[in-house]
Structure 1
Amino acid sequence: MRETTKRLSIKEWAEEDRPREKMLQKGATALSDAELIAILIGSGNNKETAVQLAQRILHSVNNDLNKLAKLSVKQLTTCFKGIGEAKAVAICAALELGKRRGASEGLQAKQIRSSKDAYLSLQAELRDLPYEELWIILTNPANRILKKCKISQGGINSSAADIRLILKTALMETATGFILCHNHPSGNIRPSRQDDTLTEQVQKAAKIVDLILLDHIILADGIYYSYADEGKLR
């Protein structure tokens, strides 16, 4: 007779190989990304353990957590057997917490010393969005961050910008300077003609009310473009 191989459940694994027990014994840093996701989803399906299912999910995004964060609840439940709504929500919630932690760490420095500082202060909020958003970073005379504000939300290729709202927001927070920042979901960070026009108009309007446009950052996943670095601010 042909011998069949029985799939072991996680409970039948050696204790040190079970994600929860491994975390308790060795700490969270000892776990792989798949093992951490397996803890979130708790169980797999009738063909895969939770770890195997988590590995397949990660493989679908080339083991890139940033790409995983862009998947919706619907995409997760539709594409992966064993991932119901509750498990998909748990994955999305955990990734959102990681994003917010990154945003909090970005504010720790509180001071904008370079275009990279500006990029890091908003990349957690903007890098995973499938549509454009326009934000401003408000600063005091020492270039310390007073506040980050979302101005508008748009479509895949553009977001509306109300120059009056930008200036009003900055004046209400008694800012002396500000940085425009928006994302390009396409991944192409080169500024469009519309981006150039907006930058020029905002800079001219800001000077009238004694505000300084310090930079305009266009970001995508892991990369950014700075108007200040490119010498495009007068």
Structure 2
Amino acid sequence: MSVMPAIEGCGMEEMVSGIIRRYSEAEVLPPVLLYVDSNCCRKSALMDIFRSAWPDLVVRLDVWHLMRRLAVGGTTDTHRLYATFMGQLSAAIFQWDRTNLNLLTAAKREERIHSNIQNPSDSDIQARLDRKELSLHCRRMTRSTEVITERIQAVLELFDVDSGRDTIGVPLLHHERIWELWKQQQKHVECLQDPKGVQLYTQTGTLKKGGVVLPMYRCARGSTSLESFHLHLQRFIPGKFYFTVWYLRY
């Protein structure tokens, strides 16, 4: 269900009420988790409507939107260290499931052995674990609030010195701006936490690599599955407009 208002927030109450009514009329269990790009922990009329009908609903902030808020503290997203910075932020927030990671590592090792590379080193195996394979075969979970806060702090400190400059000396981060943003966003770190007892991954099948059978997963975390709708709107509607993205998990 989508609503495209002329003014941000206008008409959203009717949409929320309509979503709740559809669940009620279908006689199905309501969602247990709602991902948003804003108003994750702030009291709002829309969240009150949701919670009045679904008191057990858990609201979480989409991780990518927090990362993008911090990225605004950068001088430019074309900086050669920008991708590395965003990757470090992601690593500060998430950790890979150890069982899945060990299984994928074993599969990559067997592939090297089958390619007549005897006794491949751990560093060689790690270098061959690309992001696409990790996302397909390994589940992720959020770190604790304290650890995420400490790690993001460390990432910002790392890129806010000479190590955050490119070869011609251009800094990645705007010093005053990034620390002001981090001061504002620290309170939302708790809003990133994966709720206990909610299954965020669905196994869609298996794939054999190097003789090792690997599970394939689809993740339901965040609002990524809805983001492509922005692109379609930009293509057929001229002018500037704003979006609010919600993703219900049930």
Q: TM-score range by the shorter chain?
A: under 0.3
Larger radius of gyration: 1
Higher relative contact order (CA 8 A, sep 6+): 2
Q: Normalised by the size of structure 1, how large is the TM-score?
A: 0.26
Q: Normalised by the size of structure 2, how large is the TM-score?
A: 0.25
